[in-house]
Structures are given as structure tokens and as C-alpha cells.
Chains A and B, each alone.
Chain A
Amino acid sequence: MNIYFSANARDMESSIDKYRLIIKAVRESGNTVIHDWTEVAVFRGHMVLDKIRWQELFREAQMGIDNAALVIAEVSGRNVFGVGYEVSSALNKGKPVLALVEKNQIDTSYINGIVHPLLTVKSYSVRDLAKNVKAFIEANEA
């Protein structure tokens, strides 16, 4: 299965380790992360991007969602406009979404209030991150 991964692309240096854990769990379960932007984004913090490139990134993200069977989103933190946009896009396109929130943020998270039949919200610690990802994939395998 193709799986699209959505997360905050800012502060990549502090987040990349947990993103890698999620992507590794997807691959270990025999699936593909479609349009994996994470490793490039580590360096993007040092790049200057113009308007055209931003539109290209947006198009790539939307294509990733279109071509994915499932979407996994890391939604911790407040500064995640893009992740909110992508989660809504995915649900509107009929894609099941797993939203992962760090355990200490679940009570105040906007995602905790969203009721949608295709949305699974899980709070996690780094120790059970891979287990949550694999359980979601297994539950959505045809």
C-alpha cells in the first residue's frame, strides 16, 4: 500500500528522529511511504524558496494524498497549519487517517475534537509509536 506521511516540516532537526521511527514502521509492515519529503526537509530550513517552489510543494503533497491508500499525520504542537490542511484534504478525499499526538498534548489538541469515521486519533510516546502505526495499517489492510 502507498501511505502518505504528513507532519510539521519546521524544526526538523528536533523532530526527524520520531518521523524516521514512523516511516520505518510503515516500511517494516511491507508498505511504501509515497513522496517521502522528510529527509529533504531537514535541509530545507537552510534554503530560500520562492512562490513557485511553494506551489510545487503544495501540489506534491496533494498528489501524495491522492495516490495514497492511507495517510499518517504527526499532529503534535500548535504550529501545524499545513498538517491540519492535509488531514482535512485526506478525509474529504475518503482516505483513512491516523493522527498521532504526543501523550502530553492530547487533551488540548484540536484533533481530539474531530469526529470522523475515517479518522483514528492516537496519543503516543516514542516507545509505542511503531506499534500504533503498525496497528493502524493492519486494521486498514483490505
Chain B
Amino acid sequence: MVIHFTSSLANIIDDFETLRRIIRVIHQTGNVLARDWMESQYQVDISKTVKELDPRQIYDLNIDAIERADLVIIEGSYKSFGSGFQAATALHRKKPVLFLVNSNRVASEGKISRGVNDPLLTRKEYANHDDLDLAVKDFLESNSIKTKDLRFNFVLDPHLYNHIRWKSFKTKKTKAEVVRELLLEDMERH
């Protein structure tokens, strides 16, 4: 899966190992980053001589990354406008979001991040790196395409439609159940 990972720029230097750890779990579980910005941002912050991207480029890259991502992970221990904007944008586009907060920093967390009740948002507090690894792994696993039901459009001509409708009536099963059983039978045969 493609994952967009973001955090406040304010904690890049202090929390670099934590942020790197999240990325490591993403890679170890066979997933890829939509935008690998953190190492270069770290160099920008450390060197103080490398020119930062301008805000418009950052915005465009983040929106593009959210569009391409299957899931979004936000390290939200340090609040930022950009993290909040990206969280709402991702949820609006129906992307599941994991919001991670270091339990030492919960007291300084804002009302919105604690109050969001969107079912696609998972908020997790972590006390140490083991907690953090587990939270990221659980989120990736529970949102894996392998473990989710998928939906697609299915177009039928009237002849096939009438047959499924008749079969559905006769067997007292939904049309979807009829199609699923036919597919399972076909899978067993092959």
C-alpha cells in the first residue's frame, strides 16, 4: 500500500529517531511512502544553509501524496496547521488516518485532535518505541486491502439480471450472495 506520512516540522530534529522508526515500520511491513520528505527536511533543518521548499510546493506535494495514498499516518505530538489541514483533507477523501501522540505530550494536545469522531480516524497514544511500532503495525494490518471487503461496479444485460433476480427469489438469498456463491464454486473447481 501507499502511505502518506506527515508530522509537524517543529519536531523534526528532536523527534527524528521516532519519525524514522515510523517510516521503518512502514517499509518493514512491505508498504511504501507516498512522499519521502523527512530525511531531506532534516538536512535542511540541520545545515541551515540548504534552501527550504516554498510553502506552495510543500502544499502541492502533500495534496498529491494524499491523493495517491491508501492510508495516512500523522505523528501529532507537536501541533501544526499543516497536520490539521492534511488530516481533514485525507478524511474528506475517505482515507483512513492514524493519529499518533506521545503520551508525554497529551496535555498540550488541541481540542480538535482529541475530539474528532470520524470513524476513519484512529487516535493512538504511545509511551515508548515498542508501543509506537505496534500501533503502526496494527493500523497497517487492519487497513490492509487483503483484510478488507472490496466493492466494484457490476453491469449486467437484462437477460443475466433477470436470471440472478429469479435465483435470488427462489433461494431467498440476496443477489450479491448468489454471485458470491457462484464465484466460490468456480474457485473450488479450479
Contacts and interface: CB of A to CB of B under 8 A. Distances in A.
B83 A114 contact: no
B83 A57 contact: no
B145 interface: no
Contact of A9 (B76, B78, B86, B111): B111
Interface in B101-116: 110-116
B112 A58 contact: yes
B112 A112 contact: no
Interface in B61-117: 76, 78-89, 92, 110-117
Chain A: interface size category: 20 to 34
Given A75-B81, A84-B82, A113-B57, A56 B92 contact: no
B111 A78 contact: no
B58 A110 contact: yes
A8 B111 CA distance: 10
Interface in A1-59: 8-10, 49, 51, 54-59
B81 A83 contact: yes
B181 interface: no
B85 A87 contact: yes
Interface string B8-35: 1110000000000000000000000000
A78 B110 contact: no
A88 B116 CA distance: 14
Interface string B44-72: 00000000001111111000000000000
Given A9-B111, A57-B111, A84 B84 contact: yes
A84 to B, nearest CB: 3
B117 A80 contact: no
B42 to A, nearest CB: 17
10 contacts: A51-B114, A54-B115, A78-B80, A81-B112, A82-B112, A83-B81, A84-B82, A88-B89, A113-B57, A114-B85
Lowest 3 CB-CB distances: which A-B pairs, in order?
A84-B84, A113-B55, A58-B115
Interface of B: 8-10, 54-60, 76, 78-89, 92, 110-117
Given A85-B84, A111-B55, 15 more contacts: A10-B110, A54-B115, A58-B112, A61-B112, A75-B81, A78-B8, A80-B110, A81-B81, A81-B84, A84-B86, A109-B55, A110-B80, A113-B58, A114-B55, A115-B59
